Amino acid sequence: MDNSARQDFSASVLEFRLPDLGEGLADAELVAWEVAVGDTVELNQAIAEVETAKAVVSLPSPFAGRVVELLARPGDTVAVGAPLIRVEQAARPEETTRETGRASVLVGYGPEEEATSRRRPPSEQHRVSPPAEADTELREPERPGKALGETRPAATPAARKLARELGIDLWFIAGSGPGGAVTLDDVRGAVPVSQPRPVGPADAPAGTALPSAREERTPISGIRKRTAAAMTNSARTIPQAGAFVTVDCTASMELLDHLRSTKPFAGLTLTPLPLVAKATLAALADPPGMNVFWDEASGEIVTKHYVNLGIAVATERGLLVPNIKEAQTSSLRDLTREIGWLAETARAGRATPADLRGGTFTITNVGVFGVDAGFPLVNPGESAILCLGSISKRPWVVRDEIAVRWVTTLGVSFDHRVIDGELAARFLTTTAGFLEDPLTLLSRV
Output the pLDDT for position 76: 86
Most confident of 27-36, 186-195, 405-414: 405-414
| The pLDDT of residue 365 | 96
Which pLDDT does position 400 carry in this prediction? Answer: 95
Instruction: Give the mean model confidence (pLDDT) for residues 328-337.
Output: 95
Higher-confidence position of 21 and 415 = 415
Band of residue 11 on the pLDDT scale cut at 50, 70, 90? low
- Tens of pLDDT, residue by residue over 59-94, are 898 889 999 999 999 888 888 889 999 999 865 545
pTM: 0.60
What residues are annotated to the active site?
416
**pLDDT over 80 at 131, yes or no:** no
- Distance in angstroms (rounded) separating the CA atoms of residues 404 and 113: 54
Which of residues 100 and 421 earns the better pLDDT score?
421
Mean pLDDT of 293-307: 93
**What pLDDT does 409 receive?**
98
pLDDT over 60 at 113, yes or no: no
pLDDT band at 101 (very low <50, low <70, confident <90, very high): very low
- Of 129-138, 181-190, 223-232, 421-430, the range with the lowest mean pLDDT is 129-138
User: What was the pLDDT predicted at 216?
Assistant: 80
How many CA atoms are closer than 13 Å to the CA of 284, on its beta-carbon side? 29
Per-residue pLDDT at 443? 66
Instruction: Give the whole-angstrom CA distance, residue 320 versus residue 191.
Output: 37
Q: Is the pLDDT of residue 434 over 70?
A: yes
What pLDDT shows up at residue 116?
35
In a 13 Å sphere around the CA of 442, the CA atoms on its Cβ side amount to: 5
pLDDT of residue 63: 85
